[in-house]
Amino acid sequence: MNTLNKENIKSGIIKYLKIKYRRTLDTAKDFELFNALSLTLLEHIIDEWDNTDETYKNTKNAYYFSAEFLMGRALGNNLINLGIYDDIKEIFDELGLNLNAVEEIEEDAGLGNGGLGRLAACFMDSGATLEVPLTGYGIRYSNGLFKQEFKDGYQNEKADSWLKYGDPWSIRRDDESTIVEFADMTVKAVPYDTPIIGYKSKNINTLRLWKCEPLEEFNFDLYNSQQYSEALDLKNRADNISRVLYPNDTGRSGKILRLRQQYLLVSASLKDIIRKYKEQHGAITEEFSNFNVIQLNDTHPVLGIPELIRILVDEEKLEFDVALNICKKTFAYTNHTILAEALEKWDAELFRCLFPRILEIINIINSIFISELKSKGYNDHQINEFSIVNNFNGQVRMANLAISVGFAVNGVAKLHTDILKNSELNNWYKLYPEKFQNKTNGITPRRWLRLCNKELSNFITELLGNEDWVKDLNKLSELKKFADNNEVLEKFLQIKLTKKKQLAQFIKENEGIEIDPNSLFDIQVKRLHEYKRQFLNSLYILDLYFRLKENPNLDIPKCTFIFGAKAFPGYRRAKSIVKFTNDIANLINNDQSINGKIKVVFVKNYSVSYAEKLCPAADISKQISTAGKEASGTGNMKFMLNGAPTFGTLDGANIEIVNESGEENNFIFGLKVNDIENLRHCYNPWDYFNNNPDLRRVINTLVDGTFKDNLNNDYRDLFNSLMNEGDQYFVLADFRSLKDTEDKVFEAYKDRLAWAKKCFLNVCNAGNFSSDRTIQQYCNEIWHINKCKNTK
Ligand code: 26W
């Protein structure tokens, strides 16, 4: 970064303000400054970006195929990774400009639903920082995940127009566009490249996202004959493919759109990889897999397997067997969930309509696979379980395709991988034990500590004497020697209070609710899903409120319960839980009689940038999924890294978090996986309902008119989910244990320094949850790729 100095940054900003907006520093709006600063920085890194491409050319590269990249904002992160945040802040201060306002004007790139998409984003950061040749391939949705608003407590969805201020960090590469063919239409995939800047490194990796466009802007003949909408029809059909992240796929047309997205992603990306390979190595041979490895992020990009075979056989004229062998050495698959409904299955008939050749290839792969199973002595019943195409309903099972062809299958936390091996995918594990691996998830310490909590970062750096921990998070363990140092703990508490004040201010501005920074911040933020049990949390809070009304002297600290969650638009129960929680918040926040002793805030439009404000301000990280259901969780790691104890079940990565930081520094409750297995066949929620008056009282509010649900029967349906449909997620069974554990929190919170020590030890022990560790394991154990430093 030797070319960057104060003078040329300043002149760069002035130049771009002038040529893009005809503005000067005095008249520029925040979004204009955001663009001008971003372009100035981009200009300065282009050469290093090019050099990194060169550096990676002759070595093995890994490609992360993902339908989601939940990147969030770019500017602040890039400033941190370039190591120039403080310099830019100084320049802005000198110019009388507000850097923070410029950071805040940036829209999140919200091209993902939740953990899976955010993990992909963290992996990109770690890949660049570790200086490994890792490229991300995805889709450039014009609209990311919807913007969430509340009306009368109900969730409303609005289009997310993240591109409204431009996207200065991406570069459109028309010259590297590729053609993608569906049976009924041919489209163009245009790549947009975003630089992924390694932390204080000269390596700049690439995230390449495809935008779908028509081959021709419009049909000239139709336009001439004044059939204007018909003239634009093909354009609209092409644009629709990358218009929005995961449209509701309940109907046939939604399904078709999603399949088109998936095929667009894999077809364009594979052609790109093959073009580059041929430029470097000439004709394709089995050598291909010595230079390329593709990680499939869940089943969404699994169509890449038959598509690679199609390209190799039909276009490159390889034998089918050779093409299949190449695939077997090229693809690895990550599973992110054991929820049956999330394992993708598609009607073969849809494949026939959209890409019949792909279906043909899948059938050939399947018949080769089935002969292998027969020769191994499997019977028809067993073969049917393994079969890629389900003989009974003609559905293509994407996970089966991925596991049968891919050379590696991994889960995302120890428990999750064990469940895959021992139950969910046990038949596969017995067939191919060598394929199964665990790769516990991680988060990037750059965004999730260094950027979002500069106060704590600076303190850590001060204590350790250097910033090495940002690249080597295990260094945090060296902080343990301060765990009994009261001066350190006081300062640590002070930082927490600062972050709570900042959050309180933001919440006041954005949600219009005042919260007390001196209250206990108990935070549950994540996608809304029944298994994550936001409902259990709400029911608990309502019970606490009732008890407080009965006994105003109840011995609890002042508490603020914060929720953030988006519900899938078609997921009725999730939306009812949003409404219920908002109703509870309203009831409690407006009841003067409890003197603000508890408050509930459901922040709207939870996002990456909101998480960056919430995680550093939490006193308690709530991770209360039904044991066995949360594959890993990564929000839990973000809270831990910022010093919040986990209040959670023994599920997903919570288990590893507690192993690292000690049961005494966290609050573990509830049924364990084994308990649930044992209870499942004899579980009766009515037993709990009848035996626990407090529980009964809160559940009855769903049907006794305490809350109104616009006569949609939404609350009756929630009641039924608990009481008449067997309470699948064991909400009633875990209620008492949760409540007892909350009491332990209240007790522990009284002793300030003892509390601070728990929090501090969470920070000290978070080293293992760096995505640098995770990516290093992918490199060593799956991809077999090496560090490749850009030295040009
Ligand atoms: C088929 C459509 C679809 C798309 C996305 C279904 C479900 C999703 C999810 C939002 C997938 C997801 O985010 N899974 C999460 O992945 C994280 C990263 O591995 C894990 O930490 C979470 O436990 C898991 O729920």
| Residue 221 confidence class, pLDDT cut points 50, 70, 90 | confident
How far, in Å, CA of 430 to CA of 450, rounded?
A: 43
CA 611 to centroid of ligand 1, rounded, Å? 17
Summarize the confidence of residues 166-194 as an average pLDDT.
97
Inform me whether the pLDDT recorded for 2 exceeds 60.
no
pLDDT the model gives residue 732: 98
Closest CA to 502 of 658, 615, 371: 615
Structure tokens at 513: 């609710």
The dihedral sign for the CA sequence 64, 65, 69, 73? positive
Q: What would the pLDDT profile of 612-652 be if each residue is shown by its tens digit?
A: 999 999 999 999 999 999 999 999 999 999 999 999 999 99
Percentage of the chain modeled with pLDDT above 70? 100
- Tell me how far CA of residue 371 lies from CA of 380, 381, 386, 405, in angstroms: 11, 14, 12, 14
Amino acid symbol at 444: T
pLDDT the model gives residue 231: 74
Give the phi and the psi of residue 69 in degrees, each rounded to 5. Answer: -135, 105
Select from 336, 409, 637, 774 the residue to mutate for testing ligand 1; criterion: most ligand atoms less than 8 Å from CB: 336
How far, in Å, CA of 470 to CA of 453, rounded?
A: 12
Summarize the confidence of residues 172-176 as an average pLDDT.
98
The overall average pLDDT reported for the chain is 97
Percentage of the chain modeled with pLDDT above 90? 94
Structure tokens at 95: 């110019």
| Residue 248 confidence class, pLDDT cut points 50, 70, 90 | confident
The 3 state secondary structure assigned to 458-471 is: HHHHHHHCCCHHHC
Structure tokens at 60: 């093995």
Summarize the confidence of residues 372-390 as an average pLDDT.
97
| Residue 366 confidence class, pLDDT cut points 50, 70, 90 | very high
How far, in Å, CA of 289 to CA of 775, rounded?
A: 19
Structure tokens at 434: 């060598």
- CA-nearest residue, atom 2 of ligand 1: 342
For residue 376, with 0-12 CB atoms within 10 Å meaning exposed, 13-18 middle and 19 or more buried, which class applies?
exposed
Inform me whether the pLDDT recorded for 247 exceeds 80.
no
Quote the distance between the C-alpha of residue 739 and its chain's center.
30
State the maximum Cα–Cα separation within the chain, in Å, rounded to a whole number: 82
pLDDT the model gives residue 220: 77
Inform me whether the pLDDT recorded for 769 exceeds 90.
yes
How far, in Å, CA of 59 to CA of 49, rounded?
A: 17
Q: What would the pLDDT profile of 527-540 be if each residue is shown by its tens digit?
A: 999 999 999 999 99
pLDDT the model gives residue 227: 81
Q: What would the pLDDT profile of 407-464 be if each residue is shown by its tens digit?
A: 999 999 999 999 999 999 999 999 999 999 999 999 999 999 999 999 999 999 999 9
CA 303 to centroid of ligand 1, rounded, Å? 18
Bridge-based pairing of strands 331-334 and 292-297 is parallel
Summarize the confidence of residues 285-301 as an average pLDDT.
98
How far, in Å, CA of 149 to CA of 157, rounded?
A: 6
- The DSSP bridge partners found for residue 673 are none
The residues lining ligand 1, judged by C-beta closer than 6 Å to any ligand atom, are 113-116, 119, 336-337, 342, 344, 412, 441, 527, 630-634, 652
Closest CA to 522 of 640, 634, 647: 647
Summarize the confidence of residues 177-191 as an average pLDDT.
97
Summarize the confidence of residues 567-586 as an average pLDDT.
97
Inform me whether the pLDDT recorded for 216 exceeds 80.
yes
Summarize the confidence of residues 109-131 as an average pLDDT.
98
pLDDT the model gives residue 230: 77
Neighbours of 750 (CB within 10 A): 10
Q: Quick one: which H or E segment has residue 400?
A: helix 398-405
Bridge-based pairing of strands 667-668 and 395-397 is unpaired
CA 192 to centroid of ligand 1, rounded, Å? 25
Residues classed as catalytic: 336, 526-527, 532, 634, 638
Lowest mean pLDDT among 4-8, 198-202, 366-370, 689-693: 4-8
- CA-nearest residue, atom 6 of ligand 1: 342
In this prediction the pTM is 0.98
Contact indicator for 460, 476 with CB cutoff of 8 Å: yes
How far, in Å, CA of 207 to CA of 122, rounded?
A: 12
pLDDT the model gives residue 616: 98
Amino acid symbol at 409: V
In ligand 1, the atom with minimum distance to the C-alpha of 113 is 10
How far, in Å, CA of 510 to CA of 503, rounded?
A: 10
Inform me whether the pLDDT recorded for 208 exceeds 50.
yes
Inform me whether the pLDDT recorded for 1 exceeds 60.
no
Summarize the confidence of residues 221-227 as an average pLDDT.
80
Summarize the confidence of residues 453-477 as an average pLDDT.
98
How far, in Å, CA of 66 to CA of 46, rounded?
A: 25
- Contacts of residue 655, defined as CB under 8 A and 6 or more positions apart, other chains included, come to 413, 414, 415
Give the phi and the psi of residue 383 in degrees, each rounded to 5. Answer: -60, -40
| Residue 563 confidence class, pLDDT cut points 50, 70, 90 | very high
- CA-nearest residue, atom 22 of ligand 1: 633
How far, in Å, CA of 238 to CA of 215, rounded?
A: 9
| Residue 4 confidence class, pLDDT cut points 50, 70, 90 | confident
CA 571 to centroid of ligand 1, rounded, Å? 15
How far, in Å, CA of 449 to CA of 441, rounded?
A: 17
- Three-state secondary-structure class, residue 332: strand
Summarize the confidence of residues 516-532 as an average pLDDT.
98
Inform me whether the pLDDT recorded for 176 exceeds 60.
yes
pLDDT the model gives residue 196: 98
